[in-house]
Amino acid sequence: MSDLEEEDNNLSEGFDEQTLDAIAAALHRDGYFVLEDVFRKSLLQNLYQRSQSLTGDKWKPAGIGRHQGHHLNKRVRSDRIAWIDADDPAEADFLSAMEVLRIGLNQRLFMGLSDFEAHFSKYPVGAFYQKHIDALKGRSNRILSTVLYLNAHWRKEDNGTLLLYPENGHSPPP
C-alpha cells in the first residue's frame, strides 16, 4: 500500500456523524469552525490538479452580486474564479461530500440550506478580496460559507490569510 493510500484509509470520506456534531456545536457556539484533514489526500490532490488543468478561458474575473446586479469592482476584489460542477469526477466527489455537510447541518441546526455552490479561486501575487459580508445584497439565503485551501506548502509568511470579523467588530479576533 502506498503512503497516499494509507493516508486515505485513515481519513473519512468526508463528514462522519461525529465530525458533523462537532461542526454544528462550533457553529452554534462560535459562528465558525476550522477543520483540518477531513478529506482524503487523493480528493484534495485531484481537486488541485483539476484547478491547475483549467485553461485561461475557464477563469473569469470575480465579480460582486448576481444576475443583473453582477459587476466587476477591482477595488473590492481582484481574484479570478472557475465554477465547480459535477461534470468533472473530482469536482463531483467534492460536491457529494459537501452535500453530506449540507444535510447534516440542516438536521442538527435547522439551517434550511437548500443548495450549495462552489468555485475555485485564484489569487495571483497582489490579488485580494476586501472585507465583506458573504451574502447577496437584499437576500438572506447565503447563511453559510465554506473555504477549502488547496495550496501546497503554504506558509503564514506567504500571506493570503482569511480573516473572520465579529458581527459588530472592526478587527478580527487575535
Sequence ranges of the domains in the chain: 3-158
pLDDT at 65: 73
Q: What is the pLDDT of residues 46-65, one digit of tens each?
A: 999 999 999 989 999 988 77
Three-class SS state of 40: coil
- 3-158 CATH pick, 3.40.50.620, 2.10.109.10, 2.60.120.620, 3.40.50.1100: 2.60.120.620
pLDDT at 95: 95
- Give how far the C-alpha of residue 102 lies from the chain's centroid of Cα atoms, to the nearest Å: 13
Grid cell at residue 79: 481574484
Rounded Cα gap, residues 64 and 153, in angstroms: 30
Rounded Cα gap, residues 171 and 174, in angstroms: 9
Residue 36 scores a pLDDT above 80:
yes
